[in-house]
Structure 1
């Protein structure tokens, strides 16, 4: 299958959701709740999830969806639900044909809440399942740094389509990854990354209407690993900074790592702005969520990279809502991945 329709709906739905998140930030309409895991939830999360699930439901009504959010807290907080509804109802693509492809407006607050709640699929190895993270990197979003709107289609356990909107990444693919790029927003920013299995990866500027022209992206050659730029999570609770520093030292990398939130790390290395992405486990019992990696995994692989866990195994998206058989993530160009993996194993085995 070409997955042409799936790709177009995903790109436009993610683009529309990204517009909503930008409005939330710039209008300073951020409101937070607390989930059971104490992580922050913004109105952008709920609104973006509603818009994307609405688009999927209109085009692919029998597909399942694994989404991060559910709407019970909104049903208990009418003022917040009203605020989200106003944003959802007024966020539209400026191109009529594009807006029609994502299902047009959500007609009522009730329909909005139902859409949010339709992301509760258990996942698994059979059928068509969309993995959705409406705002990946919520802390980055709240800081005005990097975050991503993420969507991937998994068919019979294998990722077929991946889309990432990174509203605060520079449009120019050649902009090197640095601390300034990782932490700031500004003019000339907003990128939509896409990939279809077997068809390569692309980037394009985010727009407010129809999709902009895309260009192919490729991971950069790393002839000298000591010059590599590697990126990692900002939060120490997400990835072991100390282990990653030891790995960089073992590889001879002297340049400071670039810390940034979200799957923007996957997009950054896929287009050659960075080289390596390391996410090492901080707890033996921690299970990564599939929505945190599915789109980025495919985009990096289609750009010429390799993505595995710390044991060298491909990430397995067929086991439910988590990557329960994988520990950590190593993403790198194919030519150097084994070298990086050897360094990771050496450091972890020495502990």
Structure 2
């Protein structure tokens, strides 16, 4: 048994089951959308996926903590919405009973579902075993029919040890190049749906998302960049999430003329980890904004285990030990290890002129 083998299996099966739930919601015109205090949207899919994943974690690792994006107070007041989510959760099963058993079987009651959602209330930190969970990363992409990801990572004493990303709208084929329109008008039809995984020190893999047990995995690696001017550049769709202007200036200084690929969620991390893209930048748009750990923990590990380097805009490793946010970091620069230093130099040069 390899180190963290059980954690990896539980995480992969839990994320796979949660993606089945999100796919059901993805095809509905009405997604039960609410607005949170920070004006960001949340759907019945977010709540349902969080319940399923935290239930699986607590069934297998009852003493572990979870930093989850959602909480259930609105559902305790809105019984109609609560019942919608419960119906979704009850209907979502893996087709393989042995796989279902590994992740703890079905959630027994509505109250247990609400308690599971609320169990994502860990403050995070530098001690112990803490999972970082984003049940639907890229909710705006999810709502507009673009890319989204179900994201889960285990941190031990602040260091990410296991990372899993479920990306239902990315192609299974690791060699499929990214098209400029990959962030819009997507489907989860045949040939789509990939599960990216990594364990610290053991490399990164991809496998097709399925409906039962886990499919066959294969190792993934970042693509060597022989000519950086030919690199494929990934960035967020939302200008409020990342500075498109700064990123355009950086691309220009690197000699990159290809149109950047804009997509929501940690699907960007998975895409560059398997060589479909090359560089991912997320540069701050506000001096006070702090990235959330659940938006980066799984992707950070997967890219590094695939041969990449991930730092902030000052060259510091992302620090997941400071609580629920990357309080000590500014932005994200992810690229193949061989060219990361050059990309970072240009990032610093452009940001220094601001």
Query: TM-score, normalised to structure 2's length?
Result: 0.98
1:31 aligned partner: 32
1:164 aligned partner: 165
**Shift in Å at residue 215 of structure 1?**
0.3
Q: Distance in 1 between matches of 2:172 and 2:30?
A: 25
- Does residue 204 (structure 1) correspond to residue 207 (structure 2)? The answer is yes
Residues 61-210 of structure 1 aligned to structure 2 (within 5 Å): 61-183=62-184, 184-185=186-187, 186-210=189-213
Q: Distance in 1 between matches of 2:115 and 2:29?
A: 26
1:18 aligned partner: 19
Contact 2:180–2:259 (8 Å) recurs in 1: no
Indicate the SS of the match to 2:205: strand
Q: 2:330 aligned to 305, 327, 332, which one?
A: 327
2:307 aligned partner: 304
- The C-alpha deviation readout for 1:102-135, integer Å capped at 9, x for no partner, is 1101011000000000000000000000000000
**Shift in Å at residue 180 of structure 1?**
2.9
- Does residue 295 (structure 1) correspond to residue 295 (structure 2)? The answer is no
Q: Distance in 1 between matches of 2:27 and 2:245?
A: 35
- The C-alpha deviation readout for 1:49-106, integer Å capped at 9, x for no partner, is 0000000000000000000000000011100000000000110000000000111010
- The C-alpha deviation readout for 1:129-157, integer Å capped at 9, x for no partner, is 00000000001111111000000000001
Q: How many pairs align? A: 351
Contact 2:134–2:152 (8 Å) recurs in 1: yes
CA RMSD in angstroms comes to 0.8
**Shift in Å at residue 264 of structure 1?**
0.1
Q: Distance in 1 between matches of 2:255 and 2:88?
A: 49
Indicate the SS of the match to 1:306: strand
Q: Distance in 1 between matches of 2:218 and 2:117?
A: 32
1:228 aligned partner: 231
Indicate the SS of the match to 1:145: coil
Gaps of 5+ in 2: none
Contact 1:132–1:151 (8 Å) recurs in 2: yes
2:267 aligned partner: 264
Gaps of 5+ in 1: none
Contact 2:251–2:257 (8 Å) recurs in 1: yes
Contact 1:170–1:181 (8 Å) recurs in 2: no
Contact 2:183–2:237 (8 Å) recurs in 1: no
